[in-house]
Amino acid sequence: MLQAGTKAPDFTLVDQTGAEVGLSAYAGKKIVIYFYSKDNTSGCTRQAQAFAGEYGRLRELGAEVVGISKDSAESHARFAEKYGLPFTLLADPEHTALQAYDVWKEKVRYGKKVMSTVRATYVIDENGIIEKVWPSAKPDTNAAEVLEYLSAKERD
């Protein structure tokens, strides 16, 4: 897992509308990037809905939200439409960002070794430096934890 204080790896991926989006598009802005396994699965859906619910407050704190998984742009478009997700979802079928952010890991499922996405969240500051990492984000609490962290920083 990448550590706070390190430069965030750049990437360019396709969003749910088919547009190419790179980390550089967020230069000068705080960005919350959350990595998740798969559209329309129970935990990933709950996490996306939680970020959608806190989206307005996160934006008020100056943060953009981006979700990244290995799903296709088309899958992301259906997922975003179905749940009214107001933020960007990026498709990473080649695992470019997943590997760069060290969230593409070997896991054991049903006795077999498989490669899968670790649910993790990064807050990247306006200068492209990783500010905070949740290496094992929980779908039901992650958005609230990010909001709490950013709110506390705002008060400082």
Q: Which residues are known to be catalytic?
A: 44
Q: Are 129 and 104 in contact (CB under 8 A)?
A: no
Please, what is the Cα angle at 11 between 88 and 86, to 5 degrees? 5
C-alpha distance from residue 102 to each of 79, 80, 116, 152 (Å) = 24, 25, 11, 27
Structure tokens at 112: 């077999």
Residue pair 65/87 in contact (Cβ under 8 Å)? The answer is yes
Maximum Cα–Cα distance across the chain: 47
